[in-house]
Structure 1
């Protein structure tokens, strides 16, 4: 399965053979913030597919980046925020060498402890598993967000130790500010078909090992298989089966590149196919046999 990383495991996954590590403070497992330009050259791209137990976001003030959320890839540039909810699959493919800005991971429970009745999470669609993770910010509004991130940065680095309640207040102000701003996000129709398609993608990321038939997901989403397929095709141009195969392929790539499992074990664990059937499926989708893909990624 795609790795679910706890905060203590992030250094090894992001920096791999470089040996460099982000310094972990006493509050690192609940909150962390750093300047992108301080660590850009230490990161090893592509950062392999993974899930995190925490939320994270990336604000670019300069440069470009390409990152995925589930089955969707996003390329974005300056004055753009990318949000990743906890437990969502993500791959960070690339970031330009001139990239500047902020990276932050956090536990939403920090905000809930200080503001237990806040509806902020429900009101920020970009934080939702099915939401569009990109938020474009007008240039005139960027300084107010940077001010809040700088305050978070100062609190995080306080010699006597960060106060989590103060961090929660600044995070809340940050999200409240975003909610009120005019969001020039990538426009996507929020109709019923779109919502079903996004719910299907989210379900695929959570259940692909146990559910590998369209009827399983139709039942899970309380729609008919035909309606599910129609919603997916209308909004993506692909069939529901196409997306299911893409998720299987994503998981297969991770198992081949990040585990010591044999190809036969992966074939059964992921698809219950014979090794030869699995190899034909994988080569048809990638142009490489599982063995060739495993050798290629090991050489990187």
Structure 2
């Protein structure tokens, strides 16, 4: 299977996937401190440099937001989520995400970490499997309701921030603090209400995950129905029951997400994108794109 072409950013490329305005203060305050293994900063410190909404991307590391004030909207895969004070939002490595907005009064913490940080004698990366919010299809939001636990969480995050400010990246230390944080909030992690054990929601979620991984190779509903060992009609029924959308509507959403990312964050021509994504003539791709977005691919690429 070919690797999906939606942008896959490394930690040192935060100014691209976060749509960071070029600014000397950003360069001096944040970029020079970035590590391939771990990074943390206060949201209010980099919020003034962000340009939102940001186009979809994939990240090679796990990341999370924790808001202590304000609100934000972010996506994971094909699902959008709004969250506010005392909420975590997690995105595991290689999952598609986009950042729609973050309020001007938002405060809190942004953190990313490479799974390799847990490859040491004190911890194992497999221990992350205990936390549903870090899995590819897990529910990304964790709301912390206990004020005392919020204080404990902030203490851990502040300790991470302090240690990171010393510029000495110790995988043992950071992995220990991260595990303490994850165990602290695990009790509040809820199973995704959309991923219940009934067959309809399970098949719908499996279909979404297949779209994310196979959209460049397969663009017919029949292909996905075959992969799931169900009929096209049954797949449509399951998706409609779970999402109130048809299987075709989700496929189109996935195509548009990929197209927008490629237009905004790569140098591929419209002709190249048309062929890679839809295997069709550029004029047909342009008509498809405009019918769904109201603008041509070229016009979308030029938008700020």
Q: TM-score higher than 0.5 here?
A: yes
Q: Secondary structure at the match of 1:98?
A: coil
Deviates more, 1:117-126 or 1:143-152: 117-126
Distance in 2 between residues matched to 1:18 and 1:71, nearest whole Å: 29
For 1:246 and 1:208, the matched residues in 2 are separated by 11
Q: Greater CA deviation, 124-133 or 216-225?
A: 216-225
Per the alignment, residue 95 of structure 2 pairs with 88
Give the corresponding residue for 2:155. Answer: 147
Deviations 1:36-56 (A, max 9, x none): 111111112122211100000
**CA displacement at 1:13 relative to structure 2:** 3.6
Which among 112, 121, 126 is matched to residue 105 of structure 1? Answer: 112
Q: Give 1:123's aligned residue.
A: 130
Aligned to 2:282: 275
Query: What is residue 10 of structure 1 aligned with on the other side?
Result: 14
Residue 256 of structure 2, aligned match among 242, 245, 249:
249
Distance, in Å, in 1 between the alignment partners of 2:71 and 2:214 is 32
Aligned match for 1:214, one of 215, 221, 233: 221
- 1:156 pairs, out of 164, 179, 203, with 164
Change (3 A) 1:256 1:117: closer
TM-superposed deviation, 1:120: 3.9
Q: CA deviation at 1:134?
A: 0.7
- CA deviation after TM superposition for structure 1 residue 148, in Å: 1.3
Give matches, 1:1-300, under 5 Å: 1-19=5-23, 20-21=26-27, 22-25=30-33, 28-114=35-121, 120-140=127-147, 141-158=149-166, 161-179=168-186, 181-183=187-189, 187-188=193-194, 190-191=196-197, 192-295=199-302, 297=303, 300=304
Within 2, Cα distance between the matches of 1:167 and 1:183? Answer: 22
Cα pair 1:130 1:195 within 8 Å, conserved: no
| Greater relative contact order (Cα < 8 A, sep 6+) | 2
Gaps of 5+ in 2: none
Could you tell me how far apart the structure 2 residues matched to 1:35 and 1:255 are? 29
Unaligned runs of 5+ in 1: none
Deviations 1:45-87, CA, capped at 9 Å, x for gaps: 1222111000000000100111111111111110110000101
Instruction: Assess, with a 3 A threshold, how the Cα gap between structure 1 residues 233 and 52 changes in structure 2: closer, same or farther.
Output: same
Q: Kindly tell me the number of residue pairs found equivalent between the two proteins.
A: 294
Deviates more, 1:53-62 or 1:121-130: 121-130
Q: Secondary structure at the match of 1:138?
A: coil
Shift of 1:11: 2.6
- What root-mean-square deviation, in Å, do the aligned CA atoms of Structure 1 and Structure 2 show? 2.2
TM-score (norm 2): 0.88
Structure 1 pair 29–119 and aligned structure 2 pair: CA distance change class (3 A):
closer
